[in-house]
Amino acid sequence: MLILLPPSEGKTPAPSGPPVDLEGLSLPSLTPSRQKVLDALVRLSSGQPGRARRVLGLTTSQQGEVEQNQRLLQAPAQAAAATYSGVVYDALGYASLGKTQRRLNSWVLVFSALWGAVHLHDAIPAYRLAGDVKLPRVGSLQQFWRQPLEQALTESAGSGPILDLRSGTYAKMWVPHAALSEHVVVGRVLQEMPDGSHKVVSHHNKATKGRLVRALASQTKSPKTPADLVKAIDSLGFATQLNERKPGKPWHLDIIVGEL
């Protein structure tokens, strides 16, 4: 089983430790692509500050994040689960999971404009690079990562289900091919309104995804099929609606919550 998550925009720098070891990261087939993006990002961030901020979509007050990118090759690295500090990861509460961390270390892949995708235990430095950036010498990162991730995800997926909880920006970095799509369940969170209608939510959507992943990690059995996965989510108390699957496309699962 795999669970695909987006990164957080906010990152927590590691207080100390060795720098990132590209050769030591999971999905080693991505190493050449990671090196290319890393070199391009450091080069951009070390050049004219105004141009770097413009390309990265940052303001003058965020110049510190450009300077942080300049030091990526020397900055201390820590587990991605500690580096990513947004709502999803706060709700996931990885540090408090104990033995179930091992399960999530193999299940969860966090998509990243810089690293392609990493496991939660992979040691990375804090950085600033969004998935919709067009990076000089690389181009559109959404397009750049598609082919490398196609190979890496096909190798990692195996025959188990894939729960895709990525945001739209990162979903464009990898689209499952037709043969694999029957194993993919794309989840979205909807809030049930007082009139019975369902509304797409944003901030609390992320929190629900984090809680869902945490709850799945506590299950005694790993889902073997998309049907098993949906049953597991239902058994955890989440209300779901599985939509009819179109040929060659993933399953789409609505996770419906009342109060967020």
Instruction: Please say whether the beta carbons of 110 and 173 come within 8 A.
Output: no
Task: Please name the residues in contact with 31: beta carbons below 8 A apart, sequence gap of 6 or more.
Answer: 22, 23, 25
Q: Is the dihedral of CA 95, 99, 100, 103 positive or negative?
A: positive
The answer on pLDDT for 181 being more than 80 is yes
Interval 112-127: pLDDT, tens: 999 999 999 999 999 9
What is the arithmetic mean of pLDDT over 106-116? 97
Locate the DSSP E strands across 131-260. Answer: 134-135, 139-140, 162-164, 184-192, 198-200, 239-243, 251-257
**Position of tokens 């490398």?**
148
Residue 260 has pLDDT above 60, yes or no: no
What gap in Å lies between CA 248 and CA 73, rounded to an integer?
A: 41
Tell me how far apart the alpha carbons of residues 186 and 161 are, in angstroms, rounded to a whole number: 11
Please tell me the distance from the alpha carbon of residue 34 to that of residue 206, in angstroms, as a whole number.
Answer: 26
Residue 202 has pLDDT above 70, yes or no: no
Task: Identify the pLDDT of residue 160.
Answer: 87
Query: Is the per-residue pLDDT at 203 higher than 80?
Result: no
Looking at the chain, which runs of residues are DSSP E strands?
Answer: 2-5, 78-79, 108-112, 116-119, 123-124, 134-135, 139-140, 162-164, 184-192, 198-200, 239-243, 251-257
pTM of the model: 0.95
Spell out the residues 6+ positions from residue 99 whose beta carbon is closer than 8 angstroms to its own: none
The pLDDT confidence band at residue 219, using thresholds 50, 70 and 90, is: confident
Query: What pLDDT does residue 68 have?
Result: 97
Digit-coded pLDDT (tens) for 47-80: 999 999 999 999 999 999 999 999 999 999 999 9
Give the single-character DSSP code of 237. T
pLDDT above 70 for 41? yes
* CB atoms inside a 10 Å sphere around CB 45: 24
